[in-house]
Structures are given as structure tokens and as C-alpha cells.
């Protein structure tokens, strides 16, 4: 990965440049955040000329390392107003890495109303008009693109939501079946891509050489060690492959931390209808796929393929977070309804967490009732997909919806919707929500591990003690994992099996001829976080932005009747390195 593609949308010129010294040695989130930090004015408008969309595969992407296919996408976020990295699975990261591309920087802005696609292969990278693709949603869009570019490439696309500059818009990446099911969902990056007039990237790695490995023997040894550990760990070797991410529904509900009816309770009465167990049964009964990889080389295989009642493909997964946001959080207990919403979200190109939490806030306003499945689907299909005024409110996300409807209980941090763990009953994740530079984001420091799953130790989820250290360590490790291009789920094994952690730096060392040790991995994670925090500070963020909404501190969550009580002073110490 020795070159950067710079895509100037203003005059539609793509140039290639070597990786500048300041960016050397970085990849994935580390590189997207560094480029955004160096090149984007923190006070610029996220949809303006000066913002840049940066796409970067991870350090290990494109190699045979297990689960190394995450693609990082970064920019100043239209949702949070801060720096954003959101990463997705799918097949694009590996192809970009094999093309030797460290990053694609999309900058400038084309003439109004024009729409483009960027076609990258071994020999060239060029922009072409995205003819006939205007306001196409992702499934139809990929179908159209496939007619011209075939099935063996990867597509990175936005649906109508991204073109329409909705703050909840995602960027889709195609999976192994050439479906737009893998999304860089959070923070409205799809709107940034839309503001650049870029509808799709076509990534064709035909004829590209293998990613160079300095020490092949050591690399082979390390990747075997890594894969072995992933297979050995009960979560990555058994729980996730069997039930997918939705293995969590029963566990989190049991812990009293499953936010229900817009964070009003920590348990959902109909939990058994939406659990991983129930989902697996439906999938198997209808001839779906219960264990499935989103990119080559994944040994966890947590993805699934969900069929409708007529045994026809409906959507992937859906994942736990999607099921929670649009299920228990909305008082909805019908997996088919949730799957239809998931399909709509992937198609329109919006974040399924942001949208589910937004629906919950709208339900709290009384506009529709909790549990109104038909109403929820209609809102997405008839309003968001058609960009009606109501669709524009919802598509702008939870914070805007809360303000427009005068709702007080709006579960966001830094204006981003909170994911599937109530911070009052899972306090470690509350610390992460509050303090990560990304806005409320479970993936930034997944304290659910030691709080609920007994992975990497045990920290009582109901008490404030120990949560800060737990979240800090996980945030640092995650920033490094996101830089490596590894799927976050490797963390389960890494936290419990020393060999898995060792294998990470051994793989990097063997690939790049380095001699990193455990401290260097932590140092890398800290450096990434520092870069992100510095950007946010310049964009105007303060300690006051590192707080949960007030109602989490004042309103008790059943069944444990707890509030979020990690002291503010402790929150301020989380990332003060």
C-alpha cells in the first residue's frame, strides 16, 4: 500500500501520490483520522467544499490474516460535527489493499446536480458520469452497476439518502454475494459522499498482485496462531457462528440492560421472539444461511442470510444492534418486521441504529405508538425513502427528531444515537458512549465484554467502579484494531487468549518487517485517539460533550433501578493520556 489516490471532484481529476511521511505506517482508522486531522478544517461545514471523505483499508487488509477485511471511512461528520471513522466489512477493503492503495481521498465538489462514479482497477482510476443512477437505492444501484462492471468487483455506494444529504446516511459495501449489505453506518458519512457528487466506487482488483509480505514464514505462523485462537474462544468460535451477533439479545436482556421503549426499561417482555435463538430457527426453517462470512478469510462467520416467509432472500442478518434498535427499543417483537426495516435501511442507505433510535424517539412523542410495526415500516418506506418532510426529519437522525418533536428523552451523545446497551445497567459502555470522540458508539470500546459477557475479566456492570479503566483500555485497543483492519470481534479472543493478542503484532511485524511489541500496539491506539480528540477540540467539543443526556443520571432504569453514576470527573480522566 504505497500510494494515495486523490480524487478532486471539482474538476473530476484523479491523481496518484506517494504516501507522505506524515501518513507513513498508518492504515485504516489510524490513517483516515490522521488525514482528516491534517487536511480538513475542523470548523468547516461537513457538507461543504472543505470536508474530505477518506477511505482506507487496514494494515492487514488484503492478506490471509483472519477477519482482516474491515474498510475504514472517515470525514468530519454531518451528524456529530466531529471527526468520524466508521468501518464496514464486505469485500472492498481487501481489493483496495491488493491494488496497493493506502487511501482514497475524495475532495472538492463537482458542479451542482452532477453525479459520478469512480472506477479503480490495476491500471487506472477515473471518474465517469453516473448515468441513470440518480436517486437509485443500493440494491437496484448495484444491479445496474453489475450490468456494466460485473460481479467480481466490489462496489462502495450510497442510496438515495446519501444523495439527499441526510445526516443518518450510510455508505454501503458489497458482500461476497455482491449485495450492498455491509455499511459504514454511523455518523452520516453517506451524506458526505453525496455532497461530493459521488454515487459509487467500483473496485476491480483483477490481475493485482498479492499483498507483499516481508517474512512469509513468520506471517504464515502468525496467521495460523491467530485463527486458532479465534476458533478456540467460546464467543468467536461458537456463540457468534451459531447465533450471529444476535446471541446478545438474551444475554443483555438477562442483565437488565436491553433498552426497551426508548430506554424506558432494561428488559423486553417479548424478548424470546427476537432472540438469536428464535432468529436461527426462522432462518433454518426458511432455508436461509445461519452461519456466513461477509468477506473472504473470516473464520468467525457471524453473518446470516434471512429469507422472507416465501423463502426468498430478504436481507442479511439482521444484526443484534439493528434488531434491538428497531425491535425492543420500539416495542416491536416481530423479526420479519425488523428484517424488512433492515432491508429498507440497507437499500435507502441509512444507519439502522440511528434510524431505530429515531423511531423510538418519534414513538415517545406520540406521533405513532410503541409497537406499531406497520407504522414503522410505512415511515421508512413512504417518508424516508421519498424524502418527504417527515422523512427528512427522521433521516436527519435522533437529535434532530427529538428537537423537532420537542422530546426530552433523546438518547444521543455528541448528537449520535446510542446503541443497544443501556448505560445505566451496563456502565462500562456508558463510559464509552460518553467519552469516545465518535459520539455514542458501542464499537469504540466494547465494555460489554467484562460487564456482561465475562470476557477479559469481570467488572460489575451496575457499579461505577472500574468502568473508566475498562473503557479506556478497550478504546485504546479498539483504535489499534481498527487501524489494523481487523474485525472488532477478534477482541473477544484477544482479551482472553494471550496468543491472539501476540499474533496481531506478529502478523504486522512479519508483513512489514517491523518489530512491534504489545506496548507499540497500545501506543498506536493512543496516538489515533489523540488525533481524533485534537480534531474535536478544535471543532468545539469540550468535557460537556463527554456526558450522557441528563435523564440517564436522574431517571432510574428498571429492573435494577439504577442511574448512570460514574462521576463526571472520572469521565474526564478516561482519555487524558
Closest CA to 67 of 237, 216, 243: 237
561 Cβ neighbours under 8 A, 6+ residues apart: none
Closest distance to its own copies from the beta carbon of 390 (Å) = 4
Please identify which residue in 30, 37, 42, 74 interacts with its own copies, judged by CB under 8 A: 42
Please identify which residue in 50, 232, 270, 572 interacts with its own copies, judged by CB under 8 A: 50
Binding mask 355-384 for its own copies (x = CB under 8 A): ----------------------------x-
- The neighbouring-strand residues paired with 14 are 7
Binding mask 316-355 for its own copies (x = CB under 8 A): ----------------------------------------
Residues 59-98 that bind its own copies (CB under 8 A): 78
Q: Which is nearer to its own copies, 49 or 499 (CB)?
A: 49
Q: Which is nearer to its own copies, 313 or 551 (CB)?
A: 551
Rounded Cα distance, 474 and 484, in Å: 15
Compute CA distances 38 → 46, 80, 341, 400, 469, whole Å.
Answer: 15, 19, 38, 29, 30
Does 196 engage in binding with its own copies (CB under 8 A)?
no
The conformational region for residue 204 under phi > 0 = left, psi -120 to 50 = alpha, else beta, is: beta
Q: Which is nearer to its own copies, 306 or 541 (CB)?
A: 541
The three-class DSSP label of residue 198 is strand
Closest distance to its own copies from the beta carbon of 537 (Å) = 8
Q: Report DSSP letters for 87-119, one per residue.
A: EE-SSHHHHHHHTTEEEEEEES-PSTT--EEEE
Closest distance to its own copies from the beta carbon of 9 (Å) = 15
Rounded Cα distance, 2 and 19, in Å: 6
Please identify which residue in 92, 104, 165, 376 interacts with its own copies, judged by CB under 8 A: 165
Cα four-point dihedral sign 349, 354, 357, 362:
negative
Please identify which residue in 27, 418, 495, 539 interacts with its own copies, judged by CB under 8 A: 539
187 Cβ neighbours under 8 A, 6+ residues apart: 77, 78, 79, 80, 84, 86, 351, 416, 438, 439
Closest distance to its own copies from the beta carbon of 365 (Å) = 9
127 Cβ neighbours under 8 A, 6+ residues apart: 7, 9, 12, 13, 14, 116, 117, 118, 119
Rounded Cα distance, 478 and 445, in Å: 6
Residues 544-563 that bind its own copies (CB under 8 A): 544-545, 547, 549-551, 554
Among the listed ranges 45-53, 306-314, 424-432, 478-486, the one in contact with its own copies (CB under 8 A) is: 45-53
Q: Which is nearer to its own copies, 530 or 538 (CB)?
A: 538
The three-class DSSP label of residue 407 is coil
Binding mask 390-429 for its own copies (x = CB under 8 A): x-xx-xx---x--xxxx-x-x-------------------
Please identify which residue in 117, 164, 301, 316 interacts with its own copies, judged by CB under 8 A: 164
Does 45 engage in binding with its own copies (CB under 8 A)?
yes
Does 538 engage in binding with its own copies (CB under 8 A)?
yes
DSSP tag of 212: P
SS3 labels along 2-45: CEEEEEECCCCEEEEEECCHHHCCCCHHHHHHHHHHHHCCCCCC
Q: What are phi and psi of 54, to 5 degrees?
A: -120, 130
Closest distance to its own copies from the beta carbon of 362 (Å) = 10
Q: Which is nearer to its own copies, 345 or 535 (CB)?
A: 535
Does 150 engage in binding with its own copies (CB under 8 A)?
no
Label the pairing between strands 101-107 and 53-57. antiparallel
Peptide bond into 559 cis (omega under 30): yes
Compute CA distances 310 → 345, 347, 518, whole Å.
Answer: 21, 20, 51
Q: Report DSSP letters for 458-474, one per residue.
A: ---TTSSTTHHHHHHHH
Q: Which is nearer to its own copies, 231 or 538 (CB)?
A: 538
Q: Which is nearer to its own copies, 308 or 555 (CB)?
A: 555
Q: Which is nearer to its own copies, 151 or 408 (CB)?
A: 408
**What is the total residue count of the chain?**
577
Please identify which residue in 66, 75, 120, 166 interacts with its own copies, judged by CB under 8 A: 166
Rounded Cα distance, 172 and 378, in Å: 23
Closest distance to its own copies from the beta carbon of 539 (Å) = 6
Q: Which is nearer to its own copies, 194 or 257 (CB)?
A: 194
Among the listed ranges 60-68, 158-166, 277-285, 329-337, the one in contact with its own copies (CB under 8 A) is: 158-166
Does 574 engage in binding with its own copies (CB under 8 A)?
no
- Residues near its own copies (CB under 8 A): 41-45, 47-50, 78, 164-167, 191, 194-195, 383, 388-390, 392-393, 395-396, 400, 403-406, 408, 410, 538-545, 547, 549-551, 554
Amino acid at each position: 500500500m504505497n500510494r494515495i489516490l486523490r480524487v478532486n471532484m471539482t474538476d473530476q481529476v484523479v491523481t496518484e501520490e506517494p504516501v507522505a511521511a506524515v501518513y507513513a505506517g498508518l492504515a485504516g482508522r489510524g490513517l483516515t483520522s490522521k488525514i482528516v486531522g491534517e487536511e480538513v478544517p475542523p470548523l468547516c461545514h461537513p457538507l461543504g467544499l472543505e470536508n474530505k471523505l477518506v477511505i482506507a483499508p487496514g494494515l492487514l487488509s488484503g492478506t490471509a490474516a483472519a477477519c482482516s477485511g474491515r474498510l475504514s471511512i472517515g470525514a468530519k461528520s454531518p451528524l456529530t460535527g466531529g471527526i468520524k471513522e466508521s468501518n464496514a466489512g464486505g469485500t472492498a477493503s481487501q481489493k483496495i489493499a491488493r491494488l496497493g492503495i493506502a487511501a482514497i481521498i475524495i475532495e472538492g465538489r463537482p458542479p451542482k446536480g452532477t453525479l459520478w462514479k469512480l472506477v479503480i482497477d490495476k491500471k487506472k482510476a477515473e471518474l465517469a458520469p453516473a448515468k441513470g443512477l440518480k436517486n437509485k437505492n443500493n440494491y437496484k444501484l448495484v444491479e445496474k452497476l453489475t450490468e456494466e462492471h460485473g460481479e467480481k468487483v466490489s462496489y462502495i455506494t450510497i442510496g438515495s439518502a446519501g444523495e439527499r444529504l441526510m445526516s443518518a446516511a450510510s455508505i454501503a459495501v458489497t458482500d461476497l454475494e455482491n449485495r450492498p449489505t455491509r455499511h459504514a453506518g454511523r455518523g452520516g458519512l453517506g451524506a458526505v459522499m453525496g455532497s461530493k457528487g459521488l454515487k459509487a466506487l467500483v473496485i476491480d482488483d483483477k490481475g493485482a498482485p498479492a499483498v507483499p509480505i516481508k517474512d512469509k514464514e513468520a506471517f504464515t505462523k502468525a496467521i495460523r496462531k491467530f485463527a486458532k485462537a479465534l476458533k478456540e474462544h467460546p464467543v468467536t468460535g461458537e456463540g457468534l457462528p451459531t447465533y450471529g451477533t444476535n446471541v446478545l439479545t438474551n444475554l443483555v436482556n438477562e442483565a437488565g440492560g436491553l433498552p426497551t421503549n426508548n430506554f424506558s426499561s432494561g428488559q423486553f417482555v417479548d424478548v424470546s421472539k427476537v432472540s438469536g435463538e428464535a432468529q436461527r430457527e426462522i432462518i433454518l426453517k426458511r432455508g436461509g444461511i445461519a452461519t456466513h462470512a461477509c468477506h473472504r478469510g473470516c473464520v468467525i462467520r457471524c453473518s446470516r442470510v434471512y429469507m422472507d416467509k416465501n423463502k426468498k432472500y430478504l436481507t442479511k442478518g439482521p444484526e443484534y444492534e439493528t434488531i434491538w434498535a428497531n425491535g425492543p427499543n420500539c416495542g416491536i417483537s416481530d423479526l420479519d418486521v425488523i428484517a424488512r426495516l433492515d432491508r429498507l435501511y440497507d437499500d435507502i442507505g441509512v444507519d439502522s441504529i440511528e434510524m431505530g433510535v429515531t423511531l423510538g424517539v418519534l414513538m415517545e412523542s406520540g406521533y405513532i405508538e410503541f409497537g406499531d410495526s406497520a407504522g414503522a415500516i410505512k415511515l421508512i418506506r413512504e417518508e424516508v425513502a421519498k424524502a418527504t418532510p417527515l422523512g427528512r426529519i427522521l433521516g436527519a437522525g435522533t437529535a434532530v427528531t427529538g428537537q423537532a418533536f420537542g422530546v426530552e428523552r433523546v438518547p444521543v451523545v455528541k448528537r449520535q444515537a446510542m446503541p443497544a446497551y443501556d448505560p445505566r445497567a451496563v456502565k462500562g459502555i456508558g463510559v464509552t458512549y460518553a467519552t469516545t470522540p465518535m459520539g455514542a458508539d458501542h464499537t469504540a470500546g466494547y465494555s460489554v465484554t467484562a460487564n456482561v459477557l465475562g470476557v477479559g475479566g469481570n467488572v460489575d456492570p451496575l457499579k461505577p467502579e472500574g468502568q473508566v479503566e475498562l473503557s479506556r483500555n478497550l478504546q485504546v485497543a479498539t483504535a489499534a484494531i481498527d487501524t489494523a483492519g481487523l474485525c472488532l470481534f477478534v477482541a473477544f479472543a484477544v482479551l482472553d487468549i494471550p496468543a491472539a493478542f501476540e499474533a496481531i503484532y506478529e502478523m504486522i511485524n512479519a508483513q512489514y518487517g517491523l518489530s512491534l511489541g504489545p506496548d507499540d500496539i497500545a501506543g498506536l491506539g493512543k496516538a489515533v485517539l489523540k488525533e481524533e480528540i485534537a480534531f474535536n477540540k478544535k471543532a468545539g467539543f469540550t468535557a460537556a460533550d463527554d456526558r450522557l443526556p441528563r435523564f440517564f443520571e436522574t431517571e432510574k432504569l428498571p429492573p435494577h433501578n439504577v442511574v448512570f453514576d460514574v462521576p463526571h470527573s472520572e469521565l474526564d480522566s478516561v482519555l487524558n493520556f
